[in-house]
Structures are given as C-alpha cells and as structure tokens.
A and B are shown apart, each in its own frame.
Chain A
C-alpha cells in the first residue's frame, strides 16, 4: 500500500480490493456519525436515555469471500468501529432495532409469541433503475448514464415532496446506492415506529405502476387523479416527460418505440389514425422541430380533440406520462420492518463508488458518474495536506463535502429533534407520576 509513497508518483490503480477498503475504514468511513445517527440521542447523557437502544440494532456484514454475517450488534461506538475495521466488510447493512439484543435472540425465540421482534425501524425506500428497463433505451441492466439518471431525480422529487407535505415527515436522508439507484431513509420517530401494515399502506399510496410483461397497460386511471398524483404530474412529471425524456430517449423515433406507446391507447381508431400519419411521415415537413416532440403533440391533439367520447381515453395522456416517469418502488423493501438495507458511506464493490447522500433540494445537480470512487479518495489522501488533523482526514478528500452535508442537513437536526422528543416525553412521564400520586 503506497500511503507513504512519493507524492508525484501517486499510483493507486482504479478498482476495489480489500486493501483499499482497509484504508477506507481506517481513515475515512464516518464511524462516529453512523453511531450517533443510530443512537437517536440515546447517548446516556439524559436521564430518559435508553442505554440498551444501540445494542439492539442489527447490522449485517458481507465479507470478502461472500460470507454473510447477520445479527451483528454492538454496545458502543468503539465496538462498532473495531469490528468494521477488523472484518473489513465489502458491504454493511442496517436492520431494525429489536426487542432484545440480537445476539441473545435464541434465548427468546420460544413459545408461540415470538418475543424477539423488531420494535423500531426507519421507513425505507429503494428505487432501482433496472425496474425502468422497459422505458429506457440508452442503457439496460446495471448501466446508468446521464440520459436515464434523471428518472431517479424525478423519483426523488416526487417521493420527497410527498413524504414531507403529505405525511409530515422531516428527517429524510436520500443516498446514492453506488451503482444504479437511490435509497431513502425516513428517520422521524413516528416513521420508525410504524407497523408493517402502515408501511405497506404508504407503499401502496405511492404505487401507480402495476403489472408486468403480461399486461399491456401498466398504468390505469379509471377516474380523476388524487391530489398527490395531480401535484406530481403538474409540478414534476409532465415537464420532465415533455422537455427531457421525450428527446433524450427518442420515444417516438422508430416504429418499435412508437408502437410501445400506441399499445397503451385502448382505442383502435385512435391508434390506427396515428400510425397512419407516422408511417407516412418519415420526414416531417417541419424538419426543424424534433420528431419526438412533433409526434407527441399529434398524439395529445388526437386524444384530447373531444371527438373521443370513449371513457378509457380521458386520461390516456397522463397514463402515458406516468408509465414512463412515475417512480417505481420496490414494495417489499418498504413493507417489512426486518428488511436490511445498505448503510450510507459504504463502497459499492462493482463500481468502487461511495454511497453518498443526495440533497433532495438539489438533486438535479447530482451526477452519478462523478461520485468519488475508493481509489480516487485514496489518491486524494496521499496528496492531501499531511499537517491536517488526523481526526478529520476526510476533509482532505471529496468525501468531505458529503460528510459535512450529512451532518448539517440531516444528523444535527435529527439529533436535536430526538433530544426534544426525549425531553418532552420525560417531562410528561414525570407529570403523570405526580398526578397518580396525588389524590
């Protein structure tokens, strides 16, 4: 490992390997921040603190040789940090807070009533761009580029707004998953205490895209739209579809592509009319105007011309826009409290990129192709100012920006709110005891 090597010949080849990880966990990974986050204010300083809280949280480690260690738990920051440094997991997952320390679970899994059970867990969402493969033509599978990444941006905007305005949540962390998607952690106390049924309800509230290759129409609006969908459409989706996606994905440029859109229109007379126009018009007379834009306008005009009395066509335009742009969530991830999710600031083994937070207010600026990689960070460490304070080596690197953002935008407001909740809960309890003592 060339840490003490000459500054000019800073040769750290790209890639991902256990040696790099060791340095990462040794000098850059923000153990203390993760610990503070997961403690949710139970740092022992307030009389209302629950000292067992952090120790009841499950972590899981994926080790280099694909060995998977579940139900890891730690009683202090140093235990967590030492275990990570020692085991050097290629992936760290965070699970729920259980009723008892996961290490002791076997002592409790007896009898019909399973006393070892999750009691708190963040409300989480996982959006993966491979779920959009049927509507993106630039990439497929694990690839991602700047043409299709905006689909993730749009998903963040729609979901984030709903979580805050509709559900009233405040402490939301969006994280780049390292390769092809984003994760969302909702950390308000109320969110952490939601039951599986309530989580399922929220996931269903967000669900619009239904079906798979066996059904034609994946988005169907039998009636006028709910206010949440109206807002998503007018504030985010329509503009994105008409001004970005149409062009970047060339949605109407070939017969195969426009046929896919035509299959979403349940009316033969409309589709054959449009097909007729497009098959003839290989070169549109308006050659300045982009063909995608032109054909979309034609489609809208035909559908909304008022000639169409057929019920199923009333909201066809919206259905098409939603089918292409509306967020597609992994329902199972959100519904179950015991679902594990990768921790922020892990490094993705296939890309070497760090899972850094994304600012939802600035998500349009996020570029997955410029996210710091492990090898880049190590290079920066080497070339950075060696006089700097050892405690904050990440400040010398591009990771600094992300950690600072994590702290100021998310962690500090969260901890402040936890303390306030703890304080008011404590005061209420004291008052209650006083009341019950009095006659």
Chain B
C-alpha cells in the first residue's frame, strides 16, 4: 500500500460505525503503521471467519444480521471512534492482498466479504440505503404511478407468496434489468415483465450486493496481477511474509492432498462404508452397489470423496468399472465413464486436481429425478432419514436429537450428532467436510483395530 499523508480530512463518522458503508473503490491514501497492517487484518479476518462458520451451520438471515452486528462491534472498533472507518477500509485492502493469490482464496474472500456487506447494508437506515444506492450507480429506475397501478395485482401476488405486507399506494419499486438481480429471480421473489424485474425497497440489497460482488471480483484479479508482478518482490522483507502468514490460518484443510494416500484398497471399501462414511457418501455407495450405476452428480460427489479418502486412480477405475459393467458393460464403461474418473484425478483435459466437496457445497446442490447426491439431512423425508440412520446404528434417543436439528435446518449439526452417536465419542469441531468425518472416524477406529489385531 502506498503511503502518502493525506491533506483531505475524513468526515467524522457517527459512533455506530455499521451505518457508514464505504465503497472500497480505491486503496486509501493513508499512512499505516506496520503493526496496524497486521492487526487490523486479523480483526477483520475474525469477522469473516465468524460469518463463514455461521453460514456453514445454516444460520437464518435474521440470525446472521445479529451476528454480523455483534462480530463487527467486537472486532472492528478502534480506540479512536473517528478511526473506525479507516480501520474498515485498511483491513479490507490488506485482506485483498492476502486473498487474491489463488482461485480458492479469492472465492472464499469474495463470498465472505459479500455476505458481510449484505448484512451491514441491511443494518443501515433507509436513508443510508438510499444514499448508497446512488453512490453505486445502479441501472435501476423508480417506477411511475401508472406503472405501479398496472403491475399492482402481480406485485401483490409476489408479496403474498412470501408472506410480506402488501405494497401500499406510496410504495417505491425499482425497475431493473432482470440479470442485475439474479438471486431475486432465482427465488421468484420479484415480478418480472419483458426483461425487467420490479424490485421492492427492502429487496434493493440484492442489487447493491450483486454490484459489490462484481466489482470486488474484478478488483481481486487486478490485485493478484499487481501482487505477482511487483508487490511480492518489492515487499519481500516487509509485507510479504505477513501476507503469506495471514492466509494460512483460516481456511482449514481442503483434503486435496491426501495424507493417507495408498492406504485404502478396494476390498476395504465395503467395511469402511459401514464404519466410517458419513451418511451422504454411504447412501451413494449403497445405491451404487444396488443399482450398479450413479448419475453424474453422484459420481462426482462420491468419486472425489473416495479420492480424498486415499483411493488410488487405478483402484478407483477398477472399482467403478466392476460396478458399472454390471449395468452398462465393460466396453461402455471404458468409452463413456473412465475418462471422467481420470479427469477427476487430474489426468485429462485441463489437468486440474479436483478437490472433494465440502459440506457447504454438498448441502447447496440440487439433486433431481434419479439423483442420490446432495445432503440426505436436507433432502430425505423424515421417514427415510430415520430408516437410514437406523441402518447406521443410531439409537432412538440420538435419533430424536438428529431429527430435531434437521427440522431447524442445521444439517451439519445433525451429521455431527450422528457421528457422535455412531462412534460413542464427541466431535467438538463439528463436521464441515465428508472427508473430515472419515478421517476423524478412522482416527477413532484405527487404534481399536490395531489392538484387536
């Protein structure tokens, strides 16, 4: 960050720093102390990590709003209240440096900063919201009285569909090209006509967030270029070590580098599926054994999981072939399916070594007709879930707890409880990744196996 003492004085911010949302357009022209560089960034990282954990646990939007307010208050206050905004801006830009360097880091940072921005926006006053809308230069226009009258019936239908109060005569609606509000379109939360979405005032956050996300995404790419071409080398002895250390701390293992590589063989799979697979993978595995087939979503989810568990590519090919040939024949397997297994291991095409899916990714997938992937805690009917858990050996008491978690949409907590019931031991960290379930299970069971042997 280039430092020049600025002559321009910043406007004093009110004590409630949440209401002043900066746009993060340009790196600030400020002098920053080296220790603040690191400390500010770590404080903000705590906020982002808190958001990440909460999202993974399936927290509702209202809960998220409160959480963000509390996290921000706890971490982002500066001893001098007037410096709050600077801390906000500085920490954001430092973290851009930290998180611009790989695709995965950028993706995570983008998601968390966007979520943070969304809830801070929602926490602001209507005045603040309106002012920010203007700053953002959004392609939206308030609709006229006539337009409102014409669309009124449809607008009321939309409001009713979400149990929202009906729009009053003086309600403000914005007309926006539909592609500017993909999340509202996806959730059928807006009336769309001839390519324009009619967005209510309280939905305007979607517009702002989409634009924020888009700007930040582009900025991160540029930052990465600058980092690799000049900054990293220039700051070799000062900022670079700090930046590199900051990124290590908060993402957790992604199971793309398998430590137990080669230790799992095909003959172990059936037994391991029974003892150590989380429900989602066990379901896929059982279905594969039963139908000798899985559709694409299932092949990806299970295939990458097995890779993370330590199944070598040659063994994977043999395993899938043994199953699929019973349904489609060995020849067709070689022609149509073997390629994509090699692709998963990075041996074909653009040679990316794909990472096994995390719970967050699996929970958000959309299994359709004939699919068996996705998170069973989310998609199974209660009846089917109980049966599946029973087969796993979950007792009746634990089962009620699990089902209760599912009813409240805490899918990962439900899986954690299942783990605890099946292994008769606690799992404090909570389940965030199927491969984590597997390795934790393996850790518990291995010594027992060794003792038995």
Contacts and interface: CB of A to CB of B under 8 A. Distances in A.
A166 B371 CA distance: 30
A223 B182 contact: no
Contacts of B225: 113
Interface stretch (A44-52, A190-198, A387-395): A190-198
A201 B186 CA distance: 4
A190 B372 contact: no
B188 A228 contact: yes
B372 A212 contact: yes
Given A112-B224, A131-B369, A211 B187 contact: no
Interface string B142-186: 000000000000100110111100000000000000110011011
Contact of A201 (B183, B370, B371, B372): B183
Query: Which of A167, A226, A230, A332 has the largest number of chain B CB atoms within 10 A?
Result: A226
A30 interface: no
Contacts of A215: 379-381, 384
Interface string A316-350: 00000000000010111000000000000000000
B157, B196, B376, B381: residue with the most chain A Cβ atoms closer than 10 Å? B157
B259 interface: no
A242 B372 CA distance: 32
B192 interface: yes
A253 to B, nearest CB: 24
A332 B299 CA distance: 15
Given A212-B368, A223-B160, A205 B186 contact: yes
Nearest to B192: A166
A276 interface: no
Interface string A287-307: 000000000000000000000
A227 interface: yes
Nearest to B155: A227
Nearest to B349: A70
Contact of B158 (A200, A205, A227, A332): A227
Contacts of B296: 332
B388 to A, nearest CB: 9
B376 A214 contact: yes
A66 B179 contact: no
Q: Is the interface of A mostly helix, strand, loop or mixed?
A: loop
A190 B195 CA distance: 10
Residue of A113, A131, A202, A211 most packed against chain B (CB within 10 A): A211
Interface in A171-230: 190, 194-195, 197-198, 200-202, 204-205, 207, 209-217, 223-230
A227 B377 CA distance: 31
A239 interface: no
B186 A165 contact: no
Closest 6 A-B residue pairs measured CB to CB?
A168-B195, A201-B182, A204-B186, A201-B186, A168-B194, A224-B160
Interface of A: 66, 109, 112-113, 131, 133-134, 165-169, 190, 194-195, 197-198, 200-202, 204-205, 207, 209-217, 223-230, 328, 330-332
28 contacts: A109-B350, A112-B102, A112-B103, A113-B221, A131-B370, A168-B193, A168-B196, A190-B179, A190-B195, A195-B179, A201-B179, A201-B186, A202-B186, A204-B186, A204-B187, A205-B185, A205-B192, A210-B366, A211-B368, A213-B370, A214-B372, A214-B376, A214-B384, A216-B381, A223-B161, A224-B157, A226-B188, A331-B368
Given A209-B369, A214-B380, 4 more contacts: A197-B182, A215-B380, A223-B163, A226-B158
